[in-house]
Amino acid sequence: MRSEDCVSCLRSAFLCLFFECIIEVMIVSHKHRFIYVKAHKVAGTSVEHALSQHLADGDLLALVPPYNPDVDELEYEWPKMKGYQALSQHSFAHVVRETAGEEVWEDYLKVVSVRNPWDALVSFFFWWRDVEKNRKMPQVFDGFIHWHLGSPHPPTNLPHWLLDGQLYADYYIRFENLDEDCRKLFERFGLPYEGLPRLKTKARVANPLHYSNFYDEETKEWVGRKYAKIIKHFGYKFERKKGRVGDG
């Protein structure tokens, strides 16, 4: 192994330990010729579970957390790993490209889940504070946003959504259009679609306010600048609402 690879592995291991192993996972299917890069808090576990039912021997599937009644609405069994090549949890886009290889990366359909960044960060916050019990981060939302934007290595979806500073995926599953986008993806592969299981959905049961209730003008603008490329590409807007919403 090259020295720079060793440094990269050590850095990834350190970050995984520091953030309590919250880096997400991914799929590479040689059978259906697609790569799924899983970001944080985009219903990725539900999408990944549905896709994983159709994997073949030799496909790549990262290990995932088991069913947890505290956060999962439905009980589930993960596909047995026999015949699959298990992956580590270092699934930033550039690592996925290195793992899959340049030829596979270029030839396969690259699929990524996305979500309005203002909404996703609220979901991030409650997951890490109330589910992961991460005490290394601020325990109030304003402080979390300051920490998230000011830390040199914040846990963020940008390394999943961007590669070399650019959007790279061939197909996007939008959280806001989750069922329809998944249905179209399954149809593209000629696979039956039976809907998605509701997994990892209970993080905000105690506080299901619309995301806009957690921002002031300053934090709203900060997030808007940091995620400007995603917001512009998908046409996301910051909407003020006082109602209660579900979470994913």
pLDDT along the chain (248 residues), means of 10: 45 36 63 90 86 85 61 53 45 77 92 95 82 72 83 74 92 96 96 82 65 93 94 95 57
Rounded Cα distance between 153 and 151, Å, is 5
| CA 105 vs CA 31, 83, 111: distances in Å | 14, 22, 11
Report the amino acid identity of residue 23.
I
Residue recorded with tokens 């959504």? 161
Q: What is the DSSP letter of 41?
A: S
User: Please, which residues bridge with residue 37 across strands?
Assistant: 26, 112
Q: Which amino acid is at 106?
A: E
CA 127 – CA 157 distance, rounded (Å): 14
User: Which ranges in the chain belong to alpha helices (H)?
Assistant: 3-18, 44-52, 93-100, 102-107, 117-126, 141-150, 158-161, 178-189, 217-226, 228-234
CA distance 103 to 34: 12
What pLDDT is recorded for position 246?
46
pLDDT for 84 equals 44
Domains of the chain: 3-234 (3.40.50)
Q: What per-residue confidence (pLDDT) applies to 108? A: 96
Cβ–Cβ < 8 Å for 155, 22:
yes
Q: How far apart are CA 77 and CA 215, in angstroms?
A: 37
How confident is the model at residue 9, as a pLDDT? Answer: 40
Q: Are 61 and 27 in contact (CB under 8 A)?
A: yes
This prediction's pTM: 0.76
Phi, psi of 216 (to 5 degrees): -105, 180
pLDDT confidence of residue 64 = 59
Q: Residues 105, 30: contact at Cβ < 8 Å?
A: no
Predicted local confidence at residue 204, as pLDDT: 57
| pLDDT for the residue numbered 90 | 38
**Whole-number pLDDT of residue 7:** 43
Q: How far is C-alpha 95 from the geometric centre of its chain's CA atoms?
A: 15
Residues 6+ apart with CB under 8 A from 176: 115, 116
- Bridge partners for 35 per DSSP: 28, 110
